[in-house]
Chain A
Amino acid sequence: MSLPARRKFIPLLATALALAALFTTASLLYPGFCSRLVVANLFADNAALGISAVGMTYVIISGGIDLSVGSVVAATSIVAATLIGRHGWHPVPVIALSLLLGLLFGLGQGLLIQRFELPAFLVTLGGMFFARGLAFAVTPESAGINHPFYDWVQALRLPLGGRAGLPATALLFLAVFVVAAAASHLTSFGRNVYALGGGADSARLMGLPVAATRVAVYGLNGFASALAGVVATFYTGSGNPAMGAGLELDAIAAVVIGGALLTGGVGFVEGTLLGVLIFGTIQSALVFDGRLNSWWLRIAIGLLLLLFILLQKWISGRAGAARAE
Chain B
Amino acid sequence: MPFFAALLAASTVLWSGCGKSNETPTAAAPPAETSAPAAAAPASAEPKSSLRSFTMGFAQVGAESAWRTAETESIKAEAEKRNVNLKFSDAQGKQENQIKAVRSFIAQGVEAIILAPVVETGWEPVLREAKQAKIPVVLVDRGIKVNDDSLYATLIASDFVAEGKLAAEWLAKKTDGKAVIVELQGTPGAAPAIDRKKGFEEGIKAYPGMKIVASQSGDFRRSGGKEVMEALVKVHPELTAVYAHNDDMALGAIQALEEADKKPGTDVIVVSIDGVKGAFEAMAAGKLNCSVECNPLLGGFAFDAAGMAIKGAPVAKNTVVPDRVFEQSQAAAELPNRKY
The reply to whether chain A is a binding partner of chain B is yes
Please report the total number of B residues contacting A with Cβ < 8 Å: 64
With A12-B6, A162-B30 as contacts: A235 and B104 at CB distance below 8 Å: no
Q: Which residues of A are found within 8 Å of B128, using beta-carbon distances?
A: 154
Q: Who on chain A is nearest to B47 by CB?
A: A31
Q: Who on chain B is nearest to A162 by CB?
A: B33
Q: Which residues of A are found within 8 Å of B6, using beta-carbon distances?
A: 9, 12-13, 15-16, 270, 274
* Distance of A29 from chain B, by nearest CB (Å): 9
Q: Who on chain A is nearest to B193 by CB?
A: A141
Q: Assess whether B314 is interfacial by the CB under 8 Å rule.
A: no
Are A284 and B104 in contact (CB-based, < 8 A)?
A: yes
Q: Which residues of A are found within 8 Å of B95, using beta-carbon distances?
A: 142, 236, 240, 242-243
Q: Assess whether A146 is interfacial by the CB under 8 Å rule.
A: yes
Q: Who on chain A is nearest to B46 by CB?
A: A31
Q: Which residues of A are found within 8 Å of B26, using beta-carbon distances?
A: 34-35
Are B101 and A232 in contact (CB-based, < 8 A)?
A: no
Q: Which residues of A are found within 8 Å of B57, using beta-carbon distances?
A: 287, 290
- Taken residue by residue from 6 to 41, chain B's Cβ proximity to chain A (1 for < 8 Å, 0 otherwise) reads as 110110111101100110011001101110000000
Are B45 and A31 in contact (CB-based, < 8 A)?
A: yes
Contacting residue for A16 out of B7, B33, B119, B124, CB 8 A: B7
With A144-B121, A144-B145, A154-B125 as contacts: A17 and B9 at CB distance below 8 Å: yes
Q: Assess whether A119 is interfacial by the CB under 8 Å rule.
A: no
Are A294 and B89 in contact (CB-based, < 8 A)?
A: yes
- Taken residue by residue from 12 to 44, chain A's Cβ proximity to chain B (1 for < 8 Å, 0 otherwise) reads as 110111011001100110111011111101001
Q: Who on chain B is nearest to A271 by CB?
A: B6
Are B96 and A288 in contact (CB-based, < 8 A)?
A: no
Contacting residue for B29 out of A35, A39, A290, CB 8 A: A35
Given the complex of chains A and B, what is the CA–CA distance between A139 and B120 in angstroms? 14
Q: Which residues of B are found within 8 Å of A274, using beta-carbon distances?
A: 6-7, 10
Q: Assess whether A136 is interfacial by the CB under 8 Å rule.
A: yes
Please report the total number of A residues contacting B with Cβ < 8 Å: 63
With A31-B45, A140-B189 as contacts: A162 and B29 at CB distance below 8 Å: yes
Q: Who on chain B is nearest to A23 by CB?
A: B13
Q: Which residues of A are found within 8 Å of B5, using beta-carbon distances?
A: 13
Given the complex of chains A and B, what is the CA–CA distance between A232 and B3 in angstroms? 30
Are B119 and A142 in contact (CB-based, < 8 A)?
A: yes
Name the residue among B6, B32, B95, B187 with the largest chain A CB count within 10 angstroms.
Answer: B6
Given the complex of chains A and B, what is the CA–CA distance between A36 and B107 in angstroms? 10
With A23-B13, A162-B30, A283-B100 as contacts: A240 and B109 at CB distance below 8 Å: no
Q: Assess whether A323 is interfacial by the CB under 8 Å rule.
A: no
Q: Assess whether B92 is interfacial by the CB under 8 Å rule.
A: yes
Contacting residue for A238 out of B14, B32, B122, CB 8 A: B122
Are A236 and B122 in contact (CB-based, < 8 A)?
A: yes
Given the complex of chains A and B, what is the CA–CA distance between A145 and B7 in angstroms? 37
Q: Which residues of A are found within 8 Å of B101, using beta-carbon distances?
A: 287
Given the complex of chains A and B, what is the CA–CA distance between A306 and B253 in angstroms? 39
- Taken residue by residue from 162 to 195, chain A's Cβ proximity to chain B (1 for < 8 Å, 0 otherwise) reads as 1100000000000000000000000000000000
B67-112, CB < 8 A from A: 85-92, 94-97, 99-101, 103-105, 107-109
Q: Assess whether B209 is interfacial by the CB under 8 Å rule.
A: no
Are B88 and A290 in contact (CB-based, < 8 A)?
A: yes
Are B105 and A146 in contact (CB-based, < 8 A)?
A: no
Q: Which residues of A are found within 8 Å of B33, using beta-carbon distances?
A: 37, 162-163
Q: Which residues of B are found within 8 Å of A294, using beta-carbon distances?
A: 89-92, 97
Are B87 and A20 in contact (CB-based, < 8 A)?
A: no
Are B86 and A290 in contact (CB-based, < 8 A)?
A: yes
Are B121 and A28 in contact (CB-based, < 8 A)?
A: no
Contacting residue for B18 out of A27, A31, A240, CB 8 A: A27
B296-316, CB < 8 A from A: none
Given the complex of chains A and B, what is the CA–CA distance between A206 and B14 in angstroms? 42
A89-109, CB < 8 A from B: none
Q: Who on chain A is nearest to B100 by CB?
A: A45
Q: Assess whether B147 is interfacial by the CB under 8 Å rule.
A: yes
* Distance of A231 from chain B, by nearest CB (Å): 11
Q: Assess whether B44 is interfacial by the CB under 8 Å rule.
A: yes
With A23-B13, A32-B109 as contacts: A136 and B104 at CB distance below 8 Å: no
With A28-B21, A32-B107, A236-B95 as contacts: A142 and B122 at CB distance below 8 Å: yes
- Taken residue by residue from 135 to 162, chain A's Cβ proximity to chain B (1 for < 8 Å, 0 otherwise) reads as 0100011111010000000100000001
Q: Assess whether A293 is interfacial by the CB under 8 Å rule.
A: yes
Q: Assess whether A125 is interfacial by the CB under 8 Å rule.
A: no
Q: Assess whether B172 is interfacial by the CB under 8 Å rule.
A: no
* 9 sample A-B contacts, Cβ–Cβ < 8 Å, listed by A number: A31-B46, A32-B107, A34-B18, A136-B188, A141-B119, A146-B147, A236-B125, A242-B95, A295-B90
**Interface contacts beyond A140-B188, A154-B124, A236-B95: sample of 13 additional A-B pairs, CB < 8 Å, sorted by A:** A20-B13, A28-B22, A34-B22, A39-B14, A39-B15, A45-B100, A48-B96, A237-B123, A241-B189, A270-B6, A287-B104, A290-B85, A291-B87
The 6 closest A-B pairs by CB, nearest first: A290-B87, A238-B122, A236-B122, A140-B188, A141-B189, A144-B121
